[in-house]
Amino acid sequence: GEMQKVREHSHTLNDELAEHKKNSTLLAEKLEQSQAQALVDPLTNVLNRSAYNLKMVQLTHEFKRYNEEWALLVLDIDHFKKFNDDFGHKLGDKVLKSVAGTVRDTIRVSDQVFRYGGEEFVVILSRINAKTAIKLAEKICRQIEKDYFVDGDKKLQVTISIGGAIITKDDTEMSLFERADKAMYRAKNNGRNQVVMDL
């Protein structure tokens, strides 16, 4: 009789442990999901600025160790404020979603696009040299230029300006971003809808 009791007790204990393990796993998955959600921009469904900050720290650190070249692109939608003011936020949101989607479809599988804020996006191009980075940035520009948005009887074209920089051993996360950002403003000042690289 005693043996039976012990067996039953250990059986219940195992059940409890299994249940506990299941709950822990579910909790971990939920946590991972909510952490993952916290890194995604809900409107455009691309990674957000927090995710970008994490990735930059990781990549800058890796570059110092492995010396693998990578590039940063800063993209800004041309005349976006006017677009929003003239045609409303609904169409503005549509443009943001479309630009994010086009960029994601144009870059390589190993690259990542982030919504940095407002109408500004950032792309990290991994293991790339300047020549290929320029080519890819140009390709993004041309793809976005092809997209039209319809508002009533109007066909609206959207363009972007891109600034880029390749990481150097002297760069910090901040200095690399600043170089790409300044290059983007040069692209704007040169007439928009183009790529300027800080090389």
Which amino acids are annotated catalytic? 119
Whose tokens are 């959207």? That residue is 158
- Which has the closest alpha carbon to 56: 189, 193, 174? 174
Residue whose token pair is 């928009």: 192
> Treating both helix axes as pointing N-terminal to C-terminal, what angle do 89-106 and 130-146 enclose, rounded to 10 degrees?
140
Give the residue from 62, 25, 88 showing the smallest Cα distance to 167. Answer: 62
Q: Which of 106, 177, 185, 191 is nearest to 144 (CA)?
A: 106
